[in-house]
Amino acid sequence: MSLPKASDKTRILFVSVVARLGGAERSLLDLLDEIDRRCFDPFVALPGEGELQDALEARSIPIFTVPLERFHRTLNPIRLANYSAAWNAGCQALSTIVQQQSIELIHSNGDIAQLYAYSVAYSEDVPLVWHVRDLTPLKWLRPRLAKNATRVVAISSAVRSMLLDSGVPGKKIQVVLNGIDTSPFESVPTPLTAEPVVGMVSHLYPWKGHKDFLHAAALVREAIPETGFVIAGDDLFNDQPEYRDELESLGAELGLEDSVEFLGNCEDVPAALARMHVLAVPSHGEPFGRNVVEAMAAGRPVVAWDLAGPSEILDNGETGMLVSPYEVEAFAGSIIELLRNREKLESMGERGRAVARERFHRSRTASEVQAIYRELCP
């Protein structure tokens, strides 16, 4: 059934292939919370039930359940045939929504969403915004996905560089840094324990660098034996169940079994950060670093590899510590330095809080994205 069209509003279909709440989905919600509903009517297509659907329903945003598969690389002919059928079904369902709801612009939230959206935007002749939220090169695919995109939004300069290296035309790319709602983090109290706690907030994937964190934790523990460690986050898609077992085994090998706590799925990030004195971000290629900004907003200094997104967010020595990639001893040394100098730790946290509020509030992100909408649909 079609919803009535208000002629003075631009009707936008957002496409997400994930119904759970990962970083990309939280960023989509932040955008939708700030979008000017006097000018834009948002609709969201997603694959099924999950935390994202619940959040959208709470916001009274129209939802369409669409058969959108998450594809994986394969040479298996049967799986390829199944993927082709699934892709056709997803594209047809999206085309029907565009036609019935008089959609005037499509916004794809990520690469797999773009696999569907680039075909639908072409067949339905509507502008397409492709929001690129990761650093996977995909040089054979990205230029094709960008062909039908009217604008390609990169969440960091690192993502822009990757797109350029992949052959995406620079004239289509616009960098719009992610933003968050800083208010839930600004009320995070000082750490709840006198004993130092260092933590990670990220999903359980190898590229997030949990093993580097555990090796650094062992060195921190040698220097400051009372230090505790927490790892908040789970396997978002439940497709790497063995990884947590590997981490727990490594922790035991390093003598950390009694000092590392796995918190599992982290729905309340402010509460997780409230337990920490320092956030560690040893990711091997973070496209942006939403967790970095969240920690800054909570007044927690961040120690991260000097790579990609975090290197753009952090001012080394002012709002966090950037460490030469993969030098675990140096990473541990930066953590130890902060834990031993509480004045520096607290002042760095306060500077980070101010920068998060000024540079990374979601209202700024939404303003820049809405300017793109207005340009494409005047």
Answer yes or no: is pLDDT of 153 > 90.
yes
187 and 175 assigned to the same domain: no
**Pick from 281, 262, 292: which is nearest to 331 by CA?**
281
Q: Is 3 a domain residue?
A: no
339 and 231 assigned to the same domain: yes
Q: Is 5 a domain residue?
A: no
129 and 252 assigned to the same domain: no
DSSP string, 193-242: -SS-EEEEES-S-GGG-HHHHHHHHHHHHHHSTT-EEEEE---TTS--HH
81 and 222 assigned to the same domain: no
152 and 202 assigned to the same domain: no
Answer yes or no: is pLDDT of 14 > 80.
yes
- Say what the pLDDT of residue 182 is: 93
Q: Is 2 a domain residue?
A: no
pLDDT digits 0-9 by tens, 15-50: 999 888 888 999 999 999 999 999 999 999 999 888
Q: Is 128 a domain residue?
A: yes
The C-alpha atoms of residue 175 and residue 48 are separated, in whole angstroms, by 30
- Say what the pLDDT of residue 20 is: 83
290 and 173 assigned to the same domain: no
Residues 6+ apart with CB under 8 A from 73: none
Mean pLDDT of 174-200: 89
- Say what the pLDDT of residue 73 is: 56
169 and 210 assigned to the same domain: no
**Pick from 304, 313, 310, 306: which is nearest to 356 by CA?**
313
163 and 225 assigned to the same domain: no
Mean pLDDT of 130-134: 94
156 and 194 assigned to the same domain: no
Q: Is 86 a domain residue?
A: yes
Q: Is 280 a domain residue?
A: yes
Distances from the Cα of 308 to the Cα of 284, 286, 288, 297, 311, angstroms: 9, 6, 7, 20, 6
Q: Is 4 a domain residue?
A: no
241 and 341 assigned to the same domain: yes
| Domain with 138 in it | 10-179+361-376
- Say what the pLDDT of residue 267 is: 80
14 and 122 assigned to the same domain: yes
In CATH, what number is assigned to the domain containing residue 173?
3.40.50.2000
State phi, psi for 43 to the nearest 5 degrees. -130, 150
Answer yes or no: is pLDDT of 1 > 50.
no
Domain count, the chain: 2
> Taking each helix axis from N to C terminus, what angle separates 210-223 and 241-253, rounded to the nearest 10 degrees?
20
Tokens of 186: 């600004």
**Pick from 263, 325, 313, 270: which is nearest to 289 by CA?**
313
338 and 216 assigned to the same domain: yes
Q: Is 328 a domain residue?
A: yes
Q: What is the pTM of this model?
A: 0.88
